[in-house]
Amino acid sequence: MNLEILDYAFMQRALLAAVLVGITAPAVGIYLVQRRQALMGDGIGHVAMTGVGLGFLLSWSPVWMATAVSVAGAVLMELIRWYGRTRGDIALAMLFYGGMAGGVMLINLAPGGTNANLISYLFGSLSTVSESDVTAICLLAAFVVAVTLGLRRQLFAVSQDEEFARVTGLPVRALNLLVAVTAAVTVTVAMRVVGLLLVSALMVVPVAAAQQLTRSFAATFAIAVAIGIGVTIGGTATSYYQDVPPGATIVLLAIGAFVLLTALATPLARRRARALARSRAGETGDPAECAIPATRAPAGKAGV
């Protein structure tokens, strides 16, 4: 295989950034999916746009500025979730669209800034990843991996059942905030690779694809990260050989993986169910199953 792709420094940086995103996005995304907040990454992405705009306006690094603003946004979202249960969705909508509009406004106010600058952050621009971007991405990715792996049991407990987690003495609010902050950091890690508008896809789609096959959280985590790495490398390489946008390619590959695994999962699930039914019938010989239609049928008739 032709590996000239690795000869170029910009491609080395691109691949490194892509792999880090492939690891971190599903690693955080799995907790968001578990909490049924799959679209939170999308919201943070919108808020991060204000950070990018602010970075351009103040001539600071857009990556670090976006990190700061999206962390603040994620914390605000958590606070809204706690205190404003009734109007929570409206407040979140304000935050999302305010963040997006703020980004567009700020970047236009920036000297020499146009919406063209924003495009590379919206849809990713792998080939323009700089040395300093790579340093930032590495540091942020290390933080994300440390949190999502190191605290996996605590985060699992809190995301599975918040009320119960409280009674195990876990600092539930602090852990919820940590998930929000980690998600925000991941968004900015992924921003340069797949872009703010497609970040959420890389958090959610590999997890959704993995859980077509799995029965345990640990396996879902491992397979989701493997899919994440696979599609980010695949997408980056494809964009090098064929002139296609890497972010979109990565996301389409992830969706392709989801479709493929879903197709594979159906016969697998059927076989598992059959094996389970066989082993159950063998060990108990339980006739009670047959009683269910018998008791149900008269009720059904009475209803009609």
CB nearer to other proteins: give 9 or 292. 292
CB nearer to other proteins: give 1 or 288. 288
CB nearer to other proteins: give 123 or 156. 156
**DSSP secondary structure letters along the chain:** ---GGGGSHHHHHHHHHHHHHHHHHHHHHHHHHHTT-TTHHHHHHHHHHHHHHHHHHHTS-HHHHHHHHHHHHHHHHHHHHHH-TTTHHHHHHHHHHHHHHHHHHHHHHSTT--HHHHHHHHH--GGG--HHHHHHHHHHHHHHHHHHHHTHHHHHHHHH-HHHHHHTT--HHHHHHHHHHHHHHHHHHHHTTT-TTTHHHHHHHHHHHHTTT-SSHHHHHHHHHHHHHHHHHHHHHHHHHS---HHHHHHHHHHHHHHHHHHHHHHHHHHHHHHHHHHHHHHH--THHHHHHHHHHHHHHHH-
CB of 20 to other proteins, least distance (A): 22
CB of 215 to other proteins, least distance (A): 4
CB nearer to other proteins: give 136 or 165. 165
CB of 42 to other proteins, least distance (A): 16
CB nearer to other proteins: give 64 or 143. 143
CB of 210 to other proteins, least distance (A): 9
CB of 118 to other proteins, least distance (A): 32
Binding region for other proteins (CB under 8 A): 30, 33-36, 38, 86, 151-154, 156-157, 159-161, 163-170, 207, 211, 214-218, 220, 276, 288-289, 291-292, 295-296
CB of 155 to other proteins, least distance (A): 9
CB nearer to other proteins: give 21 or 207. 207
